[in-house]
Amino acid sequence: MSEVENPLRKLISSKLYTRYSGILSLSDISLFLVDPSGELLHELIPPPDFCSHVCFEKKGQTCPDYKNQLGADCEGSFVCSYGLQNILIPIKVKEKTLGYVAGMQVYQQGSEYKKHTIDVQSLKDSKNLDLEFIAKSIASLKVLEPNKLKIHEQLCRHIANNISLDLAESVNEVNPQVERLSIEKEILEKKIIDLEAKNMSLVINPHFLFNTLNCIARIAYFENSHTTEELIYCLSDLLRYNLKQDDQLHTIGSEIDNIEKYLYIQKMRFKNRLEYNIELPENIRTYRIPNMVIQPIVENAIIHGISKSRDGGKISIYAKNNKNGVAIFVADNGNGFPKDVLEQIQQKNYPKGLGFQSTNKRLKQYYGECYGLEIEKSDYSGTTIVIQISPQPLRGASDEHRTDC
């Protein structure tokens, strides 16, 4: 297709095209534009040396694997003959393909062994290239996790869609209002991709943390530091539980098991200054509750009740059935809330840092206005907080099934 026939070439040389460069900061994986014949039109993020100097047939032309995909009018990711992940996203106007956003050219995690199966000597003979250069170019090929490949594919689709809109405008297929919406859409999608990239990194970090903690625990085991080993495993389990979605319901039993690990760690910290006792009937353990509801109350008991007392104290957790459902009690024998804090709580003007407001709101959201937190007592002899829940969460139920107080 000649330059006159293909408006994609004109767009590449225009100032309008430079606005797509900002989104490229989200990735360092190769990304380039090719025309329907496989001619390389523009390098947004250059291909790796192995692809551009070894695989590409000649300067300005993609490799045979790409041309085979172009001939089949394929879309999406594919694996080339050397095991590299690649991508092709068509740039279309009126269902006519004017070119492609292409690139990636990396090994997916788990398939990097394929780089060691490449016949370097054969490539040297057929390409007339230096053996050392080929070896170094293979060694420098990147290996990425599947989630990062997915993010790069989203980025490629984003750019292809926006170029298609710009091309449609250049041939009078869209009006200025659509162009404005296209720009707004680009900004929003960039933010979405950026957030997804950050979210993906959060998925990786906890696994690294847990693996590191388990490794340290094994070292403690071999050094016969069994208390340290137990503490590390408790911390690992505690973190894993706390990272679960807030939106999920768990059994009271699993919530209490998590709190026992937390209290075990605190016991190692406070030694004989902290005692605790947990008594829950077995039938209550099967009831469901939002996760991380009881633990903030227990933390407050330690921070504001036990730690401030010279002699420490005791925390008791117990539960019983009542007319409204189930009441879970968290009691300590500390000095109670300060008078001003207690007045604020009673007036529903919750002080920051206690976690009362968010916890109370979550309970009412799940069970209805009858339920939530209340202070049964708070004086010089200690504090008792009651967590009132229903045996059956009402969240998502229709109004006729909800229970009024």
pLDDT of 248 over the 80 cut: no
Q: What is the 3-state secondary structure (H, E, C) of the chain?
A: CCCCCCHHHHHHHCHHHHHHHHHHHHCCCEEEEECCCCEEEEEEECCCHHHHHHHCCCCCECCHHHHHHHHCCCCEEEECCCCCEEEEEEEEECCEEEEEEEEEEEEECCCHHHHHHCCHHHHHHHHCCCHHHHHHHHHCCCEECHHHHHHHHHHHHHHHHHHHHHHHHHCCCCCHHHHHHHHHHHHHHHHHHHHHHHHHHHHHHHHHHHHHHHHHHHHHHHCCCHHHHHHHHHHHHHHHHHCCCCCCEEEHHHHHHHHHHHHHHHHHHHHHHEEEEEECCHHHHCCEEECCCHHHHHHHHHHHHHCCCCCCEEEEEEEEEECCEEEEEEEECCCCCCHHHHHHHHCCCCCCCCCHHHHHHHHHHHHCCCCEEEEEEEECCEEEEEEEECCCCCCCCCHHHCCCC
- Using only C-alpha atoms, the chain has a radius of gyration, in whole angstroms, of 31
Residue 274: per-residue pLDDT: 93
Asked whether residue 388 carries a pLDDT value surpassing 90, the answer given is yes
pLDDT digits 0-9 by tens, 314-333: 999 999 998 889 999 999 99
| CA angle in degrees (0–180, nearest 5) for 393-394-395 | 100
Secondary structure (DSSP) of 296-342: HHHHHIIIIIITTSTT-EEEEEEEEEETTEEEEEEEE-S----HHHH
Percent of the chain with pLDDT over 90: 19
* The pLDDT of residue 295: 87
For range 220-243, the mean pLDDT: 79
Query: What pLDDT is attached to residue 44?
Result: 84
The pLDDT assigned to 277 comes to 95
Residues 26 and 308: their CA atoms lie apart, in Å, by 48
- The closest alpha carbon to 259, from 251, 248, 247, belongs to 251
- The answer to which of 2-11, 58-67, 353-362 has the lowest mean pLDDT is 2-11
**pLDDT, tens digit, 9 for 90 and up, residues 275-290:** 999 999 998 998 988 8
Which residue has better confidence, 26 or 30? Answer: 30
- Across 228-248, average pLDDT: 74
Residue 282: Cβ within 10 Å count: 7
- Both tokens assigned to 62: 């993609």
Confidence band for 400, pLDDT divided at 50, 70 and 90: very low
Q: How much is the pLDDT for 185?
A: 56
Q: Say yes or no to pLDDT of 380 above 80.
A: yes
173 near 164, Cβ under 8 Å? Answer: no
Among 270, 349, 342, 17, smallest CA distance to 166 is for 17
**pLDDT tens for residues 76-133?**
889 999 999 999 999 888 888 888 999 999 999 888 889 888 988 888 888 888 888 8
The residues facing 320 across adjacent strands are 327
Among 94-103, 167-176, 179-188, 211-220, the minimum mean pLDDT is found in 179-188
- Tell me the pLDDT of the chain averaged across its residues: 79
- Say yes or no to pLDDT of 184 above 60: no
Q: How confident is the model at residue 198 (pLDDT cuts 50, 70, 90)?
A: low
% the chain with pLDDT above 70: 76
In the predicted structure, residue 2 carries a pLDDT above the cut 50:
no
**For residue 187, what pLDDT is reported?**
58
At residue 3 the predicted structure's pLDDT band, cuts being 50, 70 and 90, is very low
Give yes or no for residue 341 having a pLDDT over 70.
yes
Q: Do the beta carbons of residue 325 and residue 300 sit within 8 Å?
A: no
